[in-house]
Amino acid sequence: MIERSARRIDLIGVPIDLGAGRRGVRLGPDALRAAKLKEQLEALGCDVRDRGDVGVPRATHEEPGGRGMPRYIDVVRTACANTADAVEASMRDGAFPIVLGGDHSLATGALAGTARVVGGQGLIWIDAHADLNSPASTPTGNLHGMSLASAMGDAPDIFPPAQFHTPAVDPKRTVFIGLRDLDERERVVIRERGMTAFTMTDVDRYGMAELINRAIQTAGRGPASAHISLDIDAVDASFAPGTGTPVPGGLTYREAHLAMEMLAESGVAHSMELTEVNPILDDHNATARLATGLICSLMGKRIL
């Protein structure tokens, strides 16, 4: 495995919203930059390079999509291919890539890029949703609801394995935290593939500290062995209003920060993505500021 330091960071923007059902999240990378993400990371002593945004094509026409009908395939595939290339280059250069979304369809590209370097990896997926629908089962046609399934190889016609390393994650080392909105196919996939899933009921029952410890033991195989995927809709909308698919009853501010702080202490992360910040729906950039704080907690920021 390539040695890397968590103190050397590459920021990679992916301004895409055509994988989602609502527009505006393509502005997320700039909202995070406006929240002084780079400056705050540098204040922690990190060597930060903002690599700018990867290329995301414009759609040439409206695609309605729908049940069993993925939409904007060409746009999302190209954006994910460019993301994979950028993430791979960052890791091979010894950096810790932080991918800034953009909708969660970009996870297919981010995971493909990391998998080119480390192979099938551990994954800690913090999200209200599992994003495990297939092209046949999708109820909406939105590819952000299929990103993890695609990363496991469930959409080879859309994401060719020759370009998108699959499976990019090890299902037995995949842990969900904060789930509260699942489709039936997603429940079946979680059970059949032996994935570990902690719902918000589990957070309530056992507490975040216990669940993160379990996640680290399951997903991690020593330092720099897992990817962290954080969809901001994991956090309750009272703290993170600027997101397109909010679900009531999410993580609190402190639960989310505790998760990031414990992951930082464990050292298991080798890369991260932060998705679904939509400044059009936000309140004075509050969600981007929260997201910036969570990234900083993962990179070592502490209260004392």
**Catalytic residue positions?**
104, 127, 129, 131, 144, 231, 233, 276
Q: Is 254 helix (H, G, I), strand (E, B) or coil?
A: helix
Find all residues with CB under 8 Å of 80, minimum gap 6, and list them: 105, 106, 108, 109, 112, 159, 164
**Residue whose tokens read 């390539």:** 2
Q: How far apart are CA 208 and CA 190, in angstroms?
A: 21
Q: Is 261 helix (H, G, I), strand (E, B) or coil?
A: helix
Q: How far apart are CA 67 and CA 302, in angstroms?
A: 45
Cα distance between the two ends of the chain: 33
Q: How far apart are CA 253 and CA 238, in angstroms?
A: 9
**Residue whose tokens read 């910040």:** 277
